Amino acid sequence: NCGQCFELKFVDQEHSDGNWGGSAPELVGKRMVVQVTNIGYDVTGDHTFDLQIPGAGQGAFDHGCAAQFQGHPSTDFDCDNRYGGCNSKEGCGRLPEELRAGCEWRYDWFHWLQADGKTNNPYVDFRRVKCPEQLTSISGSVPMDDDELPTVDLDSSPPHPAGSGPPRPVPGRS
């Protein structure tokens, strides 16, 4: 799936093994388009999307950020919490200036850990879509069948119909 893009729509569903995750009410119905950039063999589950968000935990691979942003120890990039990352927006201040807005987005738009522990591993409906230029200009990757897929205008298009794909958890790092 490397290079393919998917539209994610966050849905109102909790994990069946306890009230520890899902989507905060403010996240339900929001949509985003993501591009697959790696396989993520350390992530398990069917149809999972491991969103790479600054300050959200580095997981098993904790050397890349410190190598790219020299002068910052690896622990600055996840507030000493490799699986889950910074537990508050204030922790974003430990990251390099270039990454702080992305880290803060996690709290402002994504509503991380709000509403009694939500958002944590939210469920999504998803569908494959044409990769927007905003992503392909960064990644340099355009799937060969991209022109055959629907284009998404997140500012004006309605969400895709319910039931067009089963909700699946998005693995977080908690």
Q: Which residue has the tokens 């539209």?
A: 7
What is the rounded distance in angstroms from the CA atom of residue 100 to the CA atom of residue 164? 35
pLDDT by residue for the chain (174 residues), tens digit each?
A: 789 999 999 998 887 776 667 888 889 999 999 999 877 666 666 667 888 899 998 888 888 899 999 999 999 999 999 988 999 999 999 999 999 999 999 999 988 888 776 777 888 999 999 999 999 999 999 999 999 999 998 676 444 443 333 333 344 433
Distance (Å, whole) CA 109 – CA 27:
8
Write out the two tokens for 38. Answer: 């790696």
* Beta carbons within 8 Å of 84's beta carbon, 6+ residues apart: 56, 57, 78, 172, 173, 174
